[in-house]
Each structure stands twice: as structure tokens, then as C-alpha cells.
A and B are shown apart, each in its own frame.
Chain A
Amino acid sequence: MLAVKAEGLSKTYMDEAAPVTVFQNLDFDLEEGVFAAVMGPSGVGKSTLLHLLGGIDRPDAGRVEIFGVSIEELSPRERARFRNERIGFVFQFHHLLAEFTAEENVAFPHRIAGISAREARQRAAALLDRVGLADRGSHLSRSLSGGEQQRVAIARALARGPSLLLADEPTGNLDSESARGVFDLLAELHRERGMTTVLVTHNPELAKRCDKIFNMSREGILPATRFSG
């Protein structure tokens, strides 16, 4: 079964001066359980692609199906619920909510799903423990190091046990050692949880460790080499 099926996607942003076409008529398929890397120069629309796949942005044309569910056909409420339960996002700049502690940040997806504060906190604590930050739960996110912040962001993305993880350059802002640590964690969790993962990265070393690499350019997105192991 295809985890991701995107057909004929087009997206144009209205910039201040003129409309900017990010991509046109883009197709992208991904099988379930694959750890895929998407590479390509800046500005070809890698982040935009992730936003469209995750339903937080809408294509001007084309359609996106995630595990057979057509995102466009869902009502805003259903789409929000689908995101909450099936999709996890990790952003380049962690995007933790500054006013909240690490644990509260990880608890957010549960709280949004309507789970009690107490239960959500317990689940968040367990997940923080899994990403190696058991002792950081009560720290405000801004007092954590870059690597730690990204680990918290990963824990938050995985809070509801998503089937699809969309990671937008999660290591792009980290030193090489932290980057490797974060990547290792992602790879472990991917295997552990049997997710489908789309990782946007500029780092060819890390990309090589993925199951599949896609090269994205102005012309489109091309499935590239498959690495084993």
C-alpha cells in the first residue's frame, strides 16, 4: 500500500511583488514503512511539499492521499484530527512553544486530542524518557540546547503514534555531532514504530543512510538510488 500518493501538485505563493511558482504538476509516491530522504537545492519547494503532504497548506492543483485518505476531501475538523492522529511534524527550527516546558510541549498533541492533563503529562514524560531527556521535562524549551530542543520536537511529533513522520531538515541547524544524534534517534524510532518517514535534508551522508532518496529540482522530484542497510 502506498503511504503517500501525490498527483499533479502545483503551488504558487503570492509574494509582495509577484506570484512565485514553487512547483507545478509534481507527482510523488511513497510506499508504507519507507524511510525516505528528499534532497535538493534551496527554494525548490521541499518544505512546501511536506506542508502539502501534512495538510497544513493546500495545493493550488492536484491531490494528496495519505494511507488512502484524500486530504482535500476532509473537513477542516476531520483534517485536524487526521493530523493529530496520523501525522507527525518535525521542523528545522524545532518550533517548540517558548512559554511551555519540554513536557508540556510534548503533551500538546494529547491535550489537543482531549486527553486529561494528568494522563497527557504521564505519556509525555515516558516519551521524553525514550528520547533521552527524562530529566529535562520541567525545563522551559528555551533553556535547552539545540540538540535537546530537536529531541523534544521529535518526541512531540511522535506523541500520538503517527503513521507518517514529516521531518523538515531536523538536523539543518545543529552541529555535526548533534545532527548525527538526532538522525540516529529518528532512524531508531522509525524502525521501532514501523512508521513511514519523509526526511528533507541537505546532508548527503545522512541521506545515504535512508531507504530511499528523492532528488527534487525545478523539473520535479525523481526517485533516486536505493541503498540497502
Chain B
Amino acid sequence: MSFETMVALRYLAASRRRAHVALISTISMLGLAVGVAALIISLSLLSGFQDRIRSQMAQRTPHVRVSPARGPILAEPDRVRQALASLNGVVSVEPAIEGRGWASGSAIESTLPIRYRNAPEGELRALDGGPPPTRVSAAVATRTRTAPGDLLRVTSSRTRLSPLGPLPVAIVFRIADIRRAAALEKTPDLEIPEDAARVLAGLPSGARAYEARLADPARAEMAARAVSLLLGPSYRVQTWRELNAPLSFALRLEKGVIFATVALVIVVAALNIVSNIALTVVEKKRDLGVLTSLGATPASLARIYLTLGALIGALGTALGVAIGVSASLLLDRYEVVTLPADVYLLTHVPFAVHPREVALVAAFALATAVAAAALPARAAARLAPGEAIRLSR
């Protein structure tokens, strides 16, 4: 242990005996702890929600998608399908048959433009004899004023040539299900059976793209690189993260803004550290003079106070991390904050503690504490030692 650390430790330990310094030390330490805890709890809350959104995103969107780099349809659909099927941990490979059109309910004025695509195989079961089933987004259901069981007419943007001239292609569906989705999530308005999609899109075989689902969505980037190598540059390979880039960006931005705002509490707490250490510098002026007379350099006097700041920072941070992490875990474990399930699709507010975020918060708090100590530490280094001794008789 360097002598600077030894002096800083002893000053910190001794501050308990000096009531006013002890009070300020405690306040600055607690202030920092409160800031750290608040930041960890806010980030855990946000992570709780965002983890849900991400896992839904991973559930709903394909993990790897291969589309042609140019042109509307895949040139070699079989090669693409085989390439995707050869991936490690692949669960399913499906063609994507998508297009645009208009949907209308029974009220004719409620026609609205939509995007449709085929639903993953086996997800939509046709009712015997009736019209093919469809799953619509909540927005479509609201705007066409339809509910599960209602009929919905979908007219493709494509026309077919008949003896009477071009005719619109239209299919009537029965609404099987209404799906809620996050606003920025990249999902189609209508999911329909593959054969109906082929008719609407005028694509009897082949596909616009092939999509694979993986057992572990986290491996999507690796899988995408592998497929990309296999297929070459004439194909565009995207992961679910890229497909949902706007949403991912929004989630990251949200976290960044929360961090920056709540971190201000830590900055305010650091101001207490400045006054705490400044007080110690004034109180220990004579010691600084004496240490100089014994051969201490100005830099090592500054180090004493930087270390003191780091010690106060470390104690406050440790306390804050303990409070923040345990509070987040308890709030999640005992589902303390409940939500109306029909509005949020969740029964309680989820909290997720991400070790990386906790480490980031701790590092930020510690760095802020040391930076706060730098100001009075510089003053200590610039002290005139002779004067410090002369005036402290």
C-alpha cells in the first residue's frame, strides 16, 4: 500500500470522530448510494420491459431473412432454402410471400391499405369449408371496425387479365385472431395462409424471400454471416435485429436518455464529495505542510485526496449497488408493482438486472467521485507548505 493510500484510509476512518466531517462524509456517501441505486433500479425497470419487447420481437420476426439483392423474387429459391436449412440450430425455414393491398370490413368506407404475408406454417388453421382464416393487427381491426369472427375482404394491388380486361384479385377471410404489437415492430398488418398469399401475390411457386428461425435468436448474426458466405453477394441477408432496427434504436435511445437523466443524481452527489474533501484539505493543512517538509511531492499530496475521493466513491457505490440490485430483484421476484393486464399484456412491472449495466453505473459513479475529488486535490497540491505550518501554530 502506498503511503498516500495509507493516509487517505486513516483520514476516512478518523473522520468518524470529527462530527461535522463525519456528517458530510456520510451525506456524500449516502447521496452517491442513492444516485447509484436509483440509476440501477431505473435501468432494471427499463431492461425488464425491453427484454420482454425483444423476446417478443425475436418470437415474431424471423431470425435470418434472405432476399434478393436486386429484383422482386429469388432467382434460386431452392438453393436459398437449402443454405438456410443447413445452418446449425435451425428450427424452421419458410418462404415469405408478401404484398400490398386493401382490406375492407362490412362498412365499405373503412377500406385501408395493408401489407399481407403468409403466416408461419401451422399457425393459422383453416376452418372446414369456410373462408380462409387471417390474423390481423389491432390497428387493422380498429380501423376496419372488425372483430374475431368477422369477414374481411382483401383486394390485391395486382390485377389479373380476363376476357373482360384486367380484374382485381380479391379474397374474403375470416378473422381468427387479433394481434397486439409494439408500434415500431416490423410485422405485417395481415397474416394469411400461404396458398391465399400466393394467389394474392400472383406467385404460384418460389418466394420473395426465405426466412429461418433459430433455436437461439442470439446466434442470428453468426448464422447470417455463414449464409452470406454460402450464397454470395447477389443475396441480401438480414438478422432479426436489422429487420427491427428502428425499434432497437428506439429502445437504446430510451435507455440512453434515462441513464443521462438519472445519472444527474450522481453528479449532484459528487458535489457533496467536493465539499467533503475540501473541508478535509482545510482541516489537514498542517499535515500537508509537514508531509512536504518530510519530502512528499505536490503530486503525492494530490493523490492522497484523489484516493480519499475514490474511497468515498467506492463505499457509496458499493452501498448503492447493493440497494439497487437487491431492490430490483425483490421488486421482480415478488411482482410488487402490478399493472392492468388488459392494457399492458403484463400483470406486473418486470425488472431485469443486467450485470453489464450495473458495472457501467458503478464505473460512472466511481469516476465521478474521483473527478469531484480532483478539484480540492489540486488545491492541496498547490498549498504553500511553509505557510501551512506557519499559520497552524
Contact = CB atoms under 8 A, between A and B. Distances in A.
A91 B298 CA distance: 21
Residue from B291, B294, B300, B386 having most chain A Cβ neighbours under 10 A: B294
Contact of A48 (B1, B10, B294, B386): B386
Interface in B3-18: 3, 6-7, 10-11, 13-14
A57 interface: yes
Interface in A10-33: 13
Contacts of A95: 286, 289-290, 389
A67 interface: no
B78 interface: no
A219 interface: no
A69 interface: no
Nearest to A107: B3
A47 B291 CA distance: 17
A84 B390 contact: no
Which bucket holds chain B's interface residue count? 20 to 34
Given A51-B390, A99-B11, A83 B290 contact: no
Give the contact-size bracket for chain A: 20 to 34
Contact of A156 (B3, B14, B286, B294): B294
A51 B292 contact: no
Of A47, A52, A97, A99, the most chain B CB neighbours within 10 A belong to A99
B295 A57 contact: no
Interface string A158-189: 00100000000000000000000000000000
B300 to A, nearest CB: 7
Interface string A176-214: 000000000000000000000000000000000000000
B59 interface: no
A81 B300 CA distance: 12
A111 B289 CA distance: 16
Contacts of B70: none
B393 A93 contact: yes
B288 to A, nearest CB: 10
A108 interface: yes
A80 interface: yes
5 contacts: A81-B295, A85-B295, A109-B294, A112-B295, A160-B295
